[in-house]
């Protein structure tokens, strides 16, 4: 239970990869703040994990693209727990479409949640972590940040931006005891991939050398490494969790 006594905030933490990360960190002893655009979903997840793992939890409704909501969220966390040790910037959306058909509002929506949200949450976290002289920030990027993907100009650009942001914050605050790293998932088994036609799934699998989709737990394991003391000398790095899809 090496994270016992640590406070971890997971954005987009109510379901999918975010929920898997929350569970993994709770199993290592961390107390959790589950933040999500849906308070009901966040509260359900927080209650479930708290009961299963015996950790303290707090659920928050949070739109990470809104600076005032992010500021208030951190005020609520400090009021409840007194500190923030780990920030997982996981909240993200897609609005797919080929470049010539992509609407400006679809570009803006993805950039605001994925990239601006990571910036806003990281900024507030750093304010707290500098005072503590310690902290871990882990950003969820994507394989498409490195490969690109047709129909995802906005998503690919937002995730590539997260990689650059990760490295810059890491350089700025390494001397303050804060490490900043990213995890870049490839194709992960989710309800979305389960719903794909079999021929589409098979085409996707052909691009993955290990021959299978990753699990949300695969991503959570990489995040847990960056959150732990075992990664104390690692900052500004990206772990690729993609089954060899990008090397």
- Counting Cβ atoms within 10 Å, is residue 154 exposed (0-12), middle (13-18) or buried (19+)? buried
Rounded to 10 deg, the angle between the 39-53 and 16-27 helix axes is 30
Active site residue 246: no
Catalytic residue among 155, 173, 233, 246: 155
* Contacts of residue 166, Cβ cutoff 8 Å, sequence gap at least 6: 137, 139, 141, 180, 181, 182, 236, 238
* Contacts of residue 84, Cβ cutoff 8 Å, sequence gap at least 6: 7, 9, 33, 74, 77, 78, 125, 128, 129, 135
| Catalytic machinery residues | 155
């Amino acid at each position: 239970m090496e994270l016992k006594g640590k406070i971890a905030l997971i954005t987009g933490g109510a379901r999918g990869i975010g929920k898997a990360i929350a569970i993994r960190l709770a199993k290592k002893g961390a107390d959790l703040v589950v933040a999500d655009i849906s308070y009901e979903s966040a509260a359900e997840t927080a209650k479930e994990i708290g009961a299963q793992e015996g950790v303290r939890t707090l659920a928050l409704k949070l739109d990470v693209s809104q600076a005032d909501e992010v500021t208030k969220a951190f005020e609520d966390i400090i009021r409840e727990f007194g500190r923030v040790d780990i920030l997982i910037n996981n909240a993200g959306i897609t609005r797919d479409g080929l470049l010539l058909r992509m609407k400006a509002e679809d570009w803006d929506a993805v950039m605001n949640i994925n990239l601006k949200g990571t910036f806003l949450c990281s900024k507030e976290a750093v304010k707290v972590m500098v005072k503590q002289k310690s902290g871990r920030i882990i950003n969820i990027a994507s394989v498409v940040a490195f490969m690109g993907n047709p129909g995802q100009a906005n998503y690919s650009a937002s995730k590539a931006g997260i990689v650059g942001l990760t490295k810059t914050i890491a350089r700025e605050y390494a001397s303050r005891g804060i490490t900043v790293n990213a995890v870049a998932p490839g194709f992960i088994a989710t309800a979305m991939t389960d719903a794909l036609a079999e021929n589409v799934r098979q085409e996707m699998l052909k691009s993955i050398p290990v021959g299978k989709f990753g699990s949300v737990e695969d991503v959570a394991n990489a995040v847990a490494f960056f959150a732990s003391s075992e990664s104390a000398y690692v900052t500004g790095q990206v772990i690729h969790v993609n089954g060899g899809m990008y090397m």
